[in-house]
C-alpha cells in the first residue's frame, strides 16, 4: 500500500497520514469516519411472469409460431428506493408485436441481428408502490437462419440501479415453443417428402 500524507504548516512542518490511509488501516480514525453508502438496490424487488390469454401461466407454457403473449415485469419499491433501469434482451425468435411500449421504455436492435433489447427507466419511489411493465411479444422463426425455436426459450430481465450501475436482481421465465413442420432448408412450410427413386 502506498502511504499518502497531508502537510500541516500551521504549527510548523509535520506530516500526518491522510484520512484515506487511516480509514484503510483503522476504521475508527478520528476525523476520518464517513457513513457507509447505502446500497443503491435497497428496497427494490424484481419479478417476471408470462401472461397468456390475460392470465399468468402457473407453469412453463407451450406457445406456437406466430402466437402472441406478454412478458409481465414488475418492480416494487419501498419509500425512498432509488431510480432504476430494467433491461430485457429478448431471446432469439421472440419479437415485439408492434404495440406501443410502456412509458419510459424504448427498444434497440432487431430480431434479425439477434440483439433486440428493451430498456425501461423507472423513477425513484416516493412511496411504496409497484410498477408493472407489460411487453407484448410474438413468436417468430429465428431470423436469418430460418430455423424454428424449439424446446425451452428463456427470457432474462436485469434490474440495475445506482451510479455506477449495480445489478440488483435478475429474473428469468421460460416458454416452450412447439415444433412445427418445416420445408426445404428448414424454412417454415409444409414437410417435403423426397420421391422414391422410381418416381424421380
Residue where the block lists cell 412447439 = 178
Report pLDDT digits (tens) over 125-156. Answer: 999 999 999 999 999 876 344 555 556 889 99
The Cα–Cα gap between 85 and 115 comes to 18
For the chain, the average pLDDT equals: 77
Report pLDDT digits (tens) over 48-83. Answer: 999 999 999 988 999 988 999 999 999 999 999 999
Q: Decide if 64 contacts 153 (C-beta within 8 A).
A: no
Q: Burial level of 65, CB count in 10 A (0-12/13-18/19+)?
A: middle
* % helix, strand, coil for the chain, step of 5: 5, 45, 50
pLDDT classification of 26: cutoffs 50, 70, 90: very low
Q: Which domains does the chain have, with CATH numbers?
A: 1-36 (no CATH), 44-179 (2.60.40.740)
Amino acid at each position: 500500500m502506498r502511504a499518502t500524507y497531508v502537510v500541516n504548516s500551521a504549527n510548523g512542518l509535520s506530516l500526518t497520514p491522510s484520512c484515506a490511509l487511516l480509514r484503510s488501516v483503522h476504521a475508527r480514525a478520528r476525523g476520518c469516519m464517513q457513513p457507509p453508502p447505502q446500497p443503491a438496490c435497497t428496497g427494490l424487488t424484481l419479478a417476471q411472469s408470462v401472461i397468456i390469454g390475460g392470465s399468468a401461466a402457473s407453469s412453463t407454457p407451450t406457445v406456437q409460431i406466430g402466437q402472441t403473449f406478454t412478458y409481465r415485469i414488475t418492480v416494487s419499491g419501498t419509500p425512498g428506493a432509488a431510480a432504476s433501469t430494467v433491461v430485457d434482451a429478448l431471446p432469439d425468435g421472440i419479437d415485439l408485436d408492434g404495440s406501443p411500449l410502456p412509458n419510459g421504455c424504448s427498444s434497440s436492435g432487431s430480431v434479425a441481428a439477434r440483439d433486440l433489447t428493451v430498456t425501461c427507466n423507472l423513477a425513484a419511489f416516493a412511496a411504496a408502490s409497484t410498477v408493472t411493465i407489460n411487453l407484448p411479444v410474438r413468436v417468430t422463426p429465428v431470423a436469418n437462419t430460418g430455423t424454428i425455436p424449439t424446446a425451452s426459450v428463456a427470457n432474462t430481465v436485469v434490474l440495475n440501479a445506482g451510479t455506477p450501475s449495480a445489478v440488483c436482481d435478475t429474473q428469468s421465465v421460460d416458454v416452450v415453443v412447439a415444433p412445427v413442420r418445416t420445408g426445404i432448408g428448414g424454412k417454415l412450410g409444409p414437410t417435403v417428402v423426397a420421391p422414391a427413386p422410381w418416381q424421380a
